[in-house]
Chain A
Amino acid sequence: MWRIIGLETRNAADNMAIDDAIAECVASGLSPPTIRFYMWREPGAVSIGRFQSAADELDIEACRRLGIEIVRRRTGGGAVFHDSEITYSVAAPEWYFSPGIHGSYHEICSCIIRGLSYLGIKADFRPINDVIVNGKKISGSAQTRRNGVILQHGTILYGLDRQKMFTVLRPSRLKLSDKPLSSFTDGVTCVKEVTGASIEQLYEALLRGFTRGKEWRLGSPTENELALTKAMIKKYESGEWNFSR
């Protein structure tokens, strides 16, 4: 049976450490497969992918000036500005999903697409790891695998402050080269731009989208997970990890 950890707000290092701890506990058989929904403490945070360089991807000085935390994820993928959005994580044995990395991305992203459909939003999967609405990105996900467990987390944009987003993020313009876009601001959208739903309604829709067809119960992190989280937070707070590339 799946455990759902309902929407909660934490700081950046906490959010990454608890996802990591849950995945470790799922791998050792101490915890059930888990879906967690969360947000990031104001004024927001930036997470960079496991293999990115913060100096290349971000305006670090702008982050400091705006009080925006920077954290490196355990998962690959691109830099994300966590502001007005809902983040999810899924930690479960690999055999719960379609074989192969691409199939499992599609499967988990289908839960997001289903959730958005409950708000009347028609979304599509764009390989490798995006969900799009009207050709624009509304959700991105990142996955890693260790000890037979998939950890995938991703974000669903509710609101969008494009100016702030692209003050903080400095993606290479080469990333536009295979898209019919002239700027990054044209390539993203959010729930608030395509429907009048509240963020609470978005959460309810995502909860339905992720749990449909599953046996599940609401739960909280276990004592084991919290102890492991405490041990892992130092890593996610450290410059050695966050600025390692």
Chain B
Amino acid sequence: MEDERLSHGKPVMEIKVPGGKLVRMSMEDGGRISISGDFFVHPEEGLEAIEDALSGLEEGDARAVLSSLVRDMGIQLVGFDVDVLARLYEGIRHVENNWP
């Protein structure tokens, strides 16, 4: 189940993974990507690395970038996966580009 919208002028998208967790992604001022939700990431610092990678992504395949990052840093995602993050990233880019 997905929901995408503008919230306080910011593009926001949420996905509830069936049998998993809720993941919310928003684009803050300056294009900074923020991810929140009731999921688990081990180690915790892995989430900031993911946010940094997506915030700095100008062009390219978010799925491939995230897959490499997660593999190289040994990040474990519990309750969601790289595909969910990539869909969220594409979703908020879509909101940013299409909403008035």
- A101-B40 contact given A172-B16, A172-B22, A178-B1, CB 8 Å threshold: yes
Q: How far is the CA of A78 from the CA of B36 in the complex (A)?
A: 10
- Tell me the minimal C-beta distance from B65 to chain A in angstroms: 20
Q: How far is the CA of A128 from the CA of B77 in the complex (A)?
A: 12
Q: How far is the CA of A143 from the CA of B39 in the complex (A)?
A: 11
| A221 in contact (CB, < 8 A) | no
| A51 in contact (CB, < 8 A) | yes
| A163 in contact (CB, < 8 A) | no
Cβ–Cβ < 8 Å partners of A52 in chain B = 36-38
B contact residues, range: 20 to 34
- A245-B39 contact given A56-B24, A128-B79, A177-B16, CB 8 Å threshold: no
| A144 in contact (CB, < 8 A) | yes
**What is the interface of chain A mostly: helix, strand, loop, or mixed?**
loop
- Tell me the minimal C-beta distance from B79 to chain A in angstroms: 6
**What is the interface of chain B mostly: helix, strand, loop, or mixed?**
strand
| B31 in contact (CB, < 8 A) | no
| A43 in contact (CB, < 8 A) | no
| B41 with A76: CB separation less than 8 A | yes
Q: Mark A164-194, 1 if CB is under 8 A from B, else 0.
A: 0000000010110110000000000000000
**Interchain CB contact (< 8 A) of B78 among A74, A76, A79, A146:** A76
| A56 with B41: CB separation less than 8 A | no
For residue B34, which residue of chain A has the nearest CB? A245
| B95 in contact (CB, < 8 A) | no
Cβ–Cβ < 8 Å partners of B1 in chain A = 174, 177-178
Tally of A interface residues using CB under 8 Å: 27
Q: Which of B1-44 contact A (CB under 8 A)?
A: 1-3, 14-22, 24, 34-44
Q: How far is the CA of A122 from the CA of B40 in the complex (A)?
A: 28
- A178-B76 contact given A50-B44, A51-B35, A52-B37, CB 8 Å threshold: no
| B16 with A51: CB separation less than 8 A | no
| B47 in contact (CB, < 8 A) | yes
- Tell me the minimal C-beta distance from B10 to chain A in angstroms: 12
Q: How far is the CA of A143 from the CA of B41 in the complex (A)?
A: 10
| B34 with A78: CB separation less than 8 A | no
Interface contacts beyond A76-B40, A101-B78: sample of 20 additional A-B pairs, CB < 8 Å, sorted by A: A49-B37, A51-B35, A51-B37, A51-B44, A51-B47, A53-B36, A75-B40, A76-B41, A77-B40, A101-B40, A101-B76, A102-B78, A144-B44, A145-B43, A172-B14, A172-B16, A172-B24, A174-B15, A177-B18, A178-B19
When A and B form their complex, which 4 residue pairs have the shortest distance between CB atoms, in order from nearest?
A177-B1, A78-B38, A76-B40, A174-B16
A contact residues vs B (CB 8 Å cutoff): 49-53, 56, 74-79, 101-102, 127-128, 142-146, 172, 174-175, 177-178, 245
